[in-house]
Amino acid sequence: MPADLTIVGCGPAGAVAAWTAARAGLTVELFERSTFPRHRVCGEFVSAEALPLLTRIVPDLVAAAPVITHARFVAPSGRGSRFALPAPARGISRWGLDAALAEAASAAGVRIRLRTPAPPAALAAAGIIAAGRDWQPLPSPWLGVKAHLRGLAPAPEVEIYFFPGGYCGFAPVENGGVNVCCLLHRRGAGDLRRSRDFLAWLRAAGAASPALLARLRGAVQAAPTAVTTRVRLGRRAARAPGGALLVGDASGFVAPFTGDGLARAMLSGALAAELLAAGRAADYPAALRRAAAPGFRAAAGLRLLPGAVLARLAAPALARRLTAATRWRA
Ligand SMILES: Cc1cc2nc3c(=O)[nH]c(=O)nc-3n(C[C@H](O)[C@H](O)[C@H](O)COP(=O)(O)OP(=O)(O)OC[C@H]3O[C@@H](n4cnc5c(N)ncnc54)[C@H](O)[C@@H]3O)c2cc1C
C-alpha cells in the first residue's frame, strides 16, 4: 500500500520530519541513499534551539553529549574573544546523531529504505524533500573537511580558529573525542590528496595560524576524514517544482560558523511534517520564511567581516547578541 507521506533523505531534517509525521498518525516511507552510522562533514555543534525537540526524540543521546557553554573565536596570533553562548549547546557526532534519529523514526513506524536513492516515482510522489545540499548542487569556491581527533583536552566550548582562506572549528563530542571541521577557500586548501591524513593536511592548511598549530599539539586522528564540495551558502526555496516541501539544507544553507544548520534542519523538518499532517502544507512557505529568514540575513552580514575582525569582537555581550541574531526563530 502506498504510504501517506514519502520523504527523500534521512539526515537530521528527513528523520525528524518522518518521526513527527509518524507520531501524528501518518504512514511514512523514507528513502536514504546512504546507510548508518556514517561520518559527515559538520562542526557537530548542536545549538540550544534544537535541544528540546531532540531531547523528546533521542533523550539518551542528548544526556550523554558534552555541554558547550562558551564560544571562542581565535585570530592566527592567538588573540581572540571568549563569550558565553545565549544558552548551552551540545556536541554530538553525526556518526551518533544521524543513526539515532533514523532508529527513532523506524521505532515510530517509519519504513526506511537504506542504500536506496529515491527512484523517479518516489521523487514525483514526495511530500517532503530533505536531500540536503545535494538536492540542488551549486558550484562553490569553498569546501568542508573534518575528522575526529583524540589527545586534545576537550573544553566545554566551541573554538573557531580563523586563518587566511578559511577557519577551523573544534567541538567536544561524546566519548571524550574532539570534532575538528574546516571551511576553506579552494585557493588556500592545499593538496587535498593529503586530506586522508587529516592532521598532516591540517598542519599544512593551517600553517598561517600559529594558534591553530599550537592547539593541535598532541592530537591523533581517530576517525576517517570526510570532505564535501557542496557548501554554497544562501536561502533557496520552500517548495520543489512538483510541490514537495523542502526542509533542512535543501531549503537553504546558513553559514556554518553560526552553528545553527542542524537546528534549522530538525526544526524545519518538524514544522513541515506538522503542517502536512494538519492539512496545512500551503502555510509552510510563510512559516519557513518567518522562522528562517532573519537568521540568514544576520549570518550574511557577519560573513562580510574578515575572520580577524570576528575573532576580536571583544565585547562578549555584543558577540552573544550577534550569535542570537543568526538563530532560527521559534
Ligand atoms: C563545514 C560545515 C560545518 C558545519 N558545522 C555545523 C555545526 O557545527 N552545527 C550545525 O548546526 N550545523 C553545521 N553545519 C550544517 C549542517 O551540517 C547541515 O545544516 C545539516 O547537515 C543539514 O541537515 P539535512 O538533513 O538538511 O541534510 P543532510 O545532513 O545533508 O542529509 C541529507 C540526506 O539526504 C540523503 N540524500 C540526498 N539525496 C538523496 C536521494 N536522491 N535519495 C535518497 N537520499 C538522498 C543524503 O545521503 C543525506 O543522508 C555544517 C556544515 C558544513 C558544510
Each residue's pLDDT, cut to its tens digit, for the chain (330 residues) gives 789 999 999 999 999 999 999 999 999 999 999 999 999 999 999 999 999 999 999 999 999 999 999 999 888 888 888 889 989 999 999 999 999 999 999 999 999 999 999 999 999 999 999 999 989 888 888 889 999 999 998 789 999 998 888 889 999 999 899 999 998 888 777 777 677 888 888 887 777 788 898 899 999 999 999 999 888 888 899 999 999 999 999 999 998 888 999 999 999 999 999 999 999 999 999 999 999 999 999 988 877 666 656 666 556 777 778 888 889 998
Ligand 1, atom nearest to 144 Cα: 1
Domain limits of the chain?
A: 5-51+87-138+231-306+320-325
Q: By C-alpha distance, which of 70, 68, 73, 25 is closest to 45?
A: 68
Q: Which DSSP string do the residues of 91-159 spell out, in sequence order?
A: E--HHHHHHHHHHHHHHTT-EEETT-PPPHHHHHH-SEE--GGGGS----SEEEEEEEEESS---SEEE
- Residue 50 Cα to ligand 1 midpoint, Å, equals 15
Give, using CA atoms, the residue closest to atom 4 of ligand 1: 42
- Residue 42 Cα to ligand 1 midpoint, Å, equals 8
pTM equals 0.95
- Residue 63 Cα to ligand 1 midpoint, Å, equals 23
- Looking at domain 5-51+87-138+231-306+320-325, what is its CATH homologous superfamily? FAD/NAD(P)-binding domain (3.50.50.60)
- Residue 286 Cα to ligand 1 midpoint, Å, equals 23
Give residues (CB < 6 A) around ligand 1: 8-14, 31-34, 41-45, 47, 117-118, 130-132, 134, 144, 181, 183, 228, 231, 248-250, 256, 259-263, 265
Are 66 and 173 a contacting pair, CB within 8 Å?
A: yes
